[in-house]
């Protein structure tokens, strides 16, 4: 398949943009990656291909209608390239469990991680950290159930929930660094600690996982911008 037949619009710091890239790598699909520097403005292609949300990632597959929303794209990749290794489990109940936890991570857990960075005062920060830790406790348990002793949530190979969760590891590490703490560690979350290493060193992941130093620099810029906007809003 010609590289230009599959295009992915993404942004290097975005965990959501990582997800379809990992999925395409698992399926050994060649694709053209277009990096949007969102803090400099959005491209015409992005506006045209995702008029509803104007967000990345967007998958453009030939002349077909563009696919938006990271987990929807991952499922699309799994279904469109069905001859490659499977991303969703084949058992309906295991699929439901994977979908449930992926939605939990997006709806509840990662927003809590983000709120650590912009928390006003120690109390708010402590509460956010507690929420993140509680979530990691749930994910440690889920890992035990889903992996059944293997390396990944998907078993021997990376699957849907590995991709959904693993894509947040970069920002989790930045959060740990900024707050001088460990959130995933051998003592509290031994399963996740091993899993995180296996995930990040996986062939389908290592070239698309952003470098933690680079991400930390970017994180400082984002936090400063959010705080400035918050202060400006309060002045009005």
The residue ranges that bind other proteins (CB under 8 A) are: 52, 64-65, 67-69, 72-73, 75-76, 79-80, 92-93, 95-96, 99-100, 103-104, 138
96 versus 228: smaller Cβ distance to other proteins: 96
Nearest distance from C-beta of residue 13 to other proteins, angstroms: 22
Minimal distance in Å, beta carbon 42 to other proteins? 18
Q: How far is the CB of 224 from other proteins (least distance, A)?
A: 27
Q: Tell the smallest beta-carbon distance from residue 40 to other proteins (Å).
A: 25
CA atoms within 13 A on the CB side of 25: 18
Between 64 and 224, name the residue whose CB sits nearer to other proteins. Answer: 64
CB-CB neighbours of 60 under 10 Å = 22
- CB nearer other proteins, residue 96 or residue 130: 96
Q: How far is the CB of 182 from other proteins (least distance, A)?
A: 24
If the CB atoms of residues 38 and 138 are measured against other proteins, the closer one turns out to be 138
Report the residue number, 41 or 92, with the smaller CB distance to other proteins. 92
Least distance to other proteins, CB of residue 134, Å: 10
Do the beta carbons of residue 32 and residue 20 sit within 8 Å?
no
Residue pair 175/183 in contact by the 8 Å Cβ criterion: yes
Residue 155's DSSP bridge partners are: 152
Q: Which is nearer to other proteins, 58 or 129 (CB)?
A: 58
């Amino acid at each position: 398949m010609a590289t230009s037949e599959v295009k992915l619009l993404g942004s290097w710091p975005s965990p959501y943009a990582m997800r379809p890239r990992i999925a395409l790598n698992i399926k050994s699909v060649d694709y053209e990656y277009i990096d949007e520097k969102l803090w400099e403005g959005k491209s015409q292609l992005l506006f045209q291909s995702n008029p509803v949300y104007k967000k990345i990632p967007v998958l453009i597959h030939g002349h077909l209608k563009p696919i938006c929303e990271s987990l929807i794209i991952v499922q699309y990749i799994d279904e469109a390239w069905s001859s490659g290794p499977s991303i969703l489990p084949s058992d309906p109940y295991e699929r439901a469990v994977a979908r449930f936890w992926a939605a939990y991570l997006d709806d509840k857990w990662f927003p809590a991680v983000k709120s650590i960075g912009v928390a006003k005062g120690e109390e708010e920060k402590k509460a956010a950290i507690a929420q993140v830790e509680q979530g990691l406790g749930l994910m440690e348990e889920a890992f035990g159930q889903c992996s059944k002793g293997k390396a990944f949530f998907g078993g021997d190979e990376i699957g849907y929930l590995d991709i959904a969760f693993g894509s947040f590891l970069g920002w989790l590490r930045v959060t740990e660094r900024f707050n001088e703490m460990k959130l995933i560690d051998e003592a509290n979350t031994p399963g996740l600690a091993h899993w995180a290493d296996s995930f990040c060193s996986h062939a389908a992941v290592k070239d698309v996982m952003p470098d933690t130093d680079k991400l930390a620099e970017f994180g400082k810029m984002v936090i400063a911008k959010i705080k400035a906007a918050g202060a400006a809003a309060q002045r009005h």
